[in-house]
Amino acid sequence: MTGQLIGTRRAAWAAALALGLTGGSVIGGGAARADDGIDTLTAQQIVDRSRDALMGVRSLHLSTHGDLDRGNPSMTLELTLDRDGNCNGSVDLGNKQGSVRIVKRGDDVWVKPDADFWKNQVPGGGAAFAAILDGRYMKSSATDPRLRQLVTGCDLDTFQKMVGDNADNDRGTLNKGRKTTLDGASVVPLTRLRDDRKLTMYVAATGRPYPLRITIEDGGAHAVMGFSAFDKPVPTATPPPDRTFDINAMPGRSTPPV
């Protein structure tokens, strides 16, 4: 899709940046253990264990809303992904700019833009592509170079590497708040103030210390990232053949911008 659609990468980058809360520590040092007394630890110990927990999962659901790029619509991402490169979810570009369903299973990828996407992201040619597809998913191989960024965004290994690469991004003041509840779950809030940016991470206070939500406030910009469904499998259902169109069968030299 367009560079904007591949907001999966931008959303993952934003989450990794927010996880600069978790500077220091050993990454991926084995399976995360249950730690019901985590609220008694220091702020740095909590974020260290939280990152290790996130780095140890095999699959998760990532939810993002908002954007730190001032002046751009707030994007929404809902994506379940695993370390085998499977994913299932959607990207909404916001402000009626269009949304896209994404399914990747094994070596195959299916993408289904909506009418607003074709209208706003592919001016002049979107109507023709929409007519050819007639509501069907576009299907191609995961090795298709036109889908390279999308396939990368579907890989939890890539996301976890981004978190690891950001491990030393620990500037600013880190504070621990009082244990509270978030959507019914017991959590410990941790806040880092860095320049004009405020990062808040809510860490599960019972069971494994997963990060459940991260908020980023930067002036008038605001973004929220949620993590859930840890180690639950990505849905295996794929679009049926009668709702699929091979993008390599598109007529002429022009193909959809993927």
Question: Does residue 69 lie within any of the structural domains?
Answer: yes
Q: Which three-class secondary structure state does DSSP give residue 159?
A: helix
Question: Does residue 252 lie within any of the structural domains?
Answer: no
Question: Does residue 52 lie within any of the structural domains?
Answer: yes
pTM of this structure: 0.84
Question: Does residue 118 lie within any of the structural domains?
Answer: no
Rounded to whole angstroms, how far apart are CA atoms 7 and 78? 11
Which residue blocks in the chain are alpha helix, DSSP H? 7-18, 43-55, 115-121, 126-133, 148-153, 156-165
Closest CA to 123 of 2, 10, 8, 9: 2
Q: Which three-class secondary structure state does DSSP give residue 33?
A: coil
Confidence band of 6 (pLDDT split at 50, 70, 90): very low
Q: What pairing do the DSSP bridges indicate for beta strands 244-246 and 137-141?
A: parallel
**pLDDT > 70? residue 82:** yes
| CA 114 to each of CA 3, 43, 68, 73: distance values in angstroms, whole numbers, following the listed order | 17, 44, 25, 17
Question: Does residue 126 lie within any of the structural domains?
Answer: no
Looking at residue 8, what is its pLDDT? 46
Confidence band of 126 (pLDDT split at 50, 70, 90): confident
Question: Does residue 225 lie within any of the structural domains?
Answer: yes
Question: Does residue 133 lie within any of the structural domains?
Answer: no
Question: Does residue 107 lie within any of the structural domains?
Answer: no
The structural domain count of the chain equals 1
Domain ranges, residue 187: 7-97+145-236
Q: What is the CATH number of the domain that holds 50?
A: 2.50.20.20
Looking at residue 1, what is its pLDDT? 46
In this predicted model, which residue has the larger pLDDT, 154 or 104?
104
